[in-house]
Amino acid sequence: MPEATRYTLLLGCLFALAALFLALMDQRLLARSGDQGAGPYIVLSLLVLVVLFTAILFYISQHRTMLNRTLAESRADLEAIRQELEATRNDLEQRVERRTFEMSVANASLNRQIAERIQAEAETRKVKRQMELILESAGEGIFGFDLNGKVTFVNKAATLMLGWDPEELIGQSHHHLIHHTRADGTPYPTSECPIHQAYRDGKVHFGSDEVFWNRDGTSFPVEYISTPILEDGRLTGAVVVFRDQTTFR
């Protein structure tokens, strides 16, 4: 049972007993009003009132003490909660500061990587453009093959000599379009073509006894050199440089 309820019940019992006692005294006083004076009854009533008043004061004092104790405990709990919240707030602030610093470092690193990437891409485009200009300015015809013998790039001189547009050559078999027949008119198998051996055996092949066929069906003798393309030690294709011997003679 809570302490406040116990004190309330005790005070109620005291009031009930005091009321009963006073009622009995009133009856005795009324019954014996003619025999003796009312002095003793008055004294007893006063004594009962004093006892009742003392009990009330004691109850109030105990209740106040209980309230003060409860208030002190509540204050202590609130202080503990405040200290815990303060510690939590300080911890969160430190975490936020640390996280903010980490994000700043990460952003700085990311910005640096982006700047380096942009610079590298710009340099790559510059080098690519220079290579394109070199290829377009070269007097010899230049082809690039993949491992299947298909054209991956071609320069302007090659297209002018052969009569093909670059879009018609890219992705097509070089041998089937340009080198399919020998000078005497006999078929020329790809397996016997030294130009296409470069991306198979990894060796440089050159010669001056081959002919290339134009789009219009005519042919011209060529001098060529076929060089393999190596990436990280792997064969990825070949580059062929050729020129029209008739023109150069």
pLDDT digits (tens, 9 = 90+) for 223-238: 999 999 988 888 999 9
CA distance 121 to 13: 97
User: Which helix (H) or strand (E) element contains residue 237?
Assistant: strand 234-244
> Region 36-45: what's the mean pLDDT?
60
- The 10 Å Cβ neighbour count of residue 55 is 16
Share of residues in the chain with pLDDT > 70 (%): 78
pLDDT at 50: 73
- Give me the architecture of the 139-248 domain, per CATH: 2-Layer Sandwich (3.30)
Query: Does residue 152 contact residue 205 with C-beta atoms inside 8 Å?
Result: no
pLDDT at 247: 73
Question: Which of 68-72, 101-105, 239-243 reaches the highest mean pLDDT?
Answer: 239-243
pLDDT of 199 > 70? The answer is: yes
d(CA 221, CA 70): 112
Q: Is 51 exposed, middle or buried (0-12, 13-18, 19+ CB in 10 A)?
A: middle
Q: Which of 11, 17, 15 is CA-nearest to residue 60?
A: 11
pTM of structure: 0.51
Provide the mean pLDDT of the chain.
Answer: 82
Amino acid letter for position 218: T
Asked if 210 contacts 221 with a C-beta cutoff of 8 angstroms, the reply is yes
Cβ-based neighbour number of residue 169 at 10 Å = 22
Higher-pLDDT residue of 37 and 24 is 24
What letter represents residue 132's amino acid?
E
Return the number of other C-beta atoms located less than 10 Å from residue 211's C-beta.
17
- Each domain of the chain, given as residue ranges in start order, spans 1-15+41-137, 139-248
**Residue 242 to residue 207: CA distance in whole angstroms:** 10
> Burial of 86 by CB count in 10 Å (0-12 exposed, 13-18 middle, 19+ buried)?
exposed
Q: Residue 186: its pLDDT value, please?
A: 93
